[in-house]
Structure 1
Amino acid sequence: MAAVGTWSFSLPAVERMQCMILAGQHSTDVVENAIADVENDVQTGCYIVGRGGFPNNKGIVECDAAIMEGLPGRFGAVAALRGVGQPCRVARQVMERSPHSLLVGEGAEAFAREKGFIIEPNNNMLSDHTATAYQEFLKSGKQVRGHDTIGLIALDLTGNITVGVSTSGKPFKAPGRVGDSPLPGCGLYADHTVGAAAVTGDGDKIMCYCPSFQIVQLMRQGLSPKEACCSVLADIKKRTGEDKCFEIGLIALNLKGEVGAASSVEFPYTFWNQGMDSVEKHVLSY
């Protein structure tokens, strides 16, 4: 039994995951519901997630989300989805009820509508903070720093493992831009015989290295989650140059409930596993 999440703002989500896991819920339900809470909270939108997230350069909020179970072929994702405050729930439906694995843009919106989701006006997706930031961007070109996303991994009582990610994407991005988050092997990956990994940071760069897939493969070869994350980060730094590495944070969880992380920036993450009374936060320095 274990749960892990990216960034400090995942703490309430991981605390909820702890309760759901101990209550015997399936790892996929745990991940979906915990991410949905974060997505639908306008206050966490400033962390580039869901409702209240930053819009693209046309002022429209477009969200990416994905869920992947450890079982072969169990993956669903949406990208550039507009008007849905909990895109991870649509990603779950893609996994469960679509012959496809990834739906984008108008196709993702049509699927969501077909499955009973309400498509809200764009104003409902913005917060006062992100709407103001967009106006400042239009006036002066002022950018917003940071590449946060929410990434959660759950290992349940019966050994099922699921990983999920969600993001509103790079602030003021081009319409239709998709980063690493909803791409299997890039933003997330899971294998029921090994474990799972999630990645956060500069998605345009991350997707070129397939880090989450590499982490899981290294754990398959016997590395601990921490060793696997550090090995993948070291390889990326070797290829980019130590002083030119982009922003990236990596988390991993194996079937023993062991957690590991690595990062090119200061990176707080939260976790809990069997034997711990409460969720803890660790901060990686760089």
Structure 2
Amino acid sequence: MAGETNTTDIKGYGQKSYTGIETDKIFYAFKRVHAWPVSAKIQLLGLQGATSATNTRTSQATQTKSGVLKGIGAPNQQRTVDCIYPKESNGFDLHAEIRQIWDNGEGFDVWRIDFGSMHGKKPNRKVRAQYSQAVLPALPYTEALGGFLTSNLVIEVNGMERDFNDDGNWFELPESSFVPGTFDKMNKFYDYSIGTDRGVDEDGNFVDNTVDDETLFANKKGTTDDVPGPQTPSGQADPTLIDPANPQAPQAPQAPKSVPTTNGANILSN
């Protein structure tokens, strides 16, 4: 019939891919907006086990003579995260932050992030994320024998979370919104160590100064050549050769300078 729309013309129909969305790449992050400065970065909710999201609306049924008229009410959303608390690191104590949110009855910001949607090149990668303002009414602790301290956080969303703009396109978070290295944690459990970057300092505190893979030189497969990572600036000294007592990388020589003197020009080189 003229004017009839085929299903293959409708956005989202006719796709031939049967690959599902990987739940292991969905992570939750937060920010204490009433306690942290504006410049503070988004933090992941610790090491995460199973997570889930509930989106419901109340349903009302009104019986009429010709049938039942049904309607739906306002949205009600919860986000559940099995949060495993890591030990305090780099001055950040996740357990203390979550506890203070509950102690103070604070509202906080939550992002449900699909790292499977990551695109772009480092350090300008982006991910799709759903944003909500939320509260934490309960803070349970699981303290199993031989296990780790965990909380099954049931986060209550205020109003309705934001996920699409007015054109129906996903909102995105840039890599710069997160603590450096967050995106790389999705692909590896820890950074590579060169031996002189992990240990105990003079005060007896554990120090981890490992850096991202992209900044390290590596041995090119099938050769004896050392090659820099894609993000390693050209001319940067190989960090495996830097003296730990003098970690400042050597600077490239500058162009010679000519300084006039009473006996002629004196050529200096830095």
Structure with more strand by fraction = 2
Give TM-score scaled by structure 2 length.
0.25
Structure with more helix by fraction = 1
- Higher relative contact order structure (alpha carbons within 8 Å, sequence separation ≥ 6): 1
Q: Which has the larger radius of gyration?
A: 2
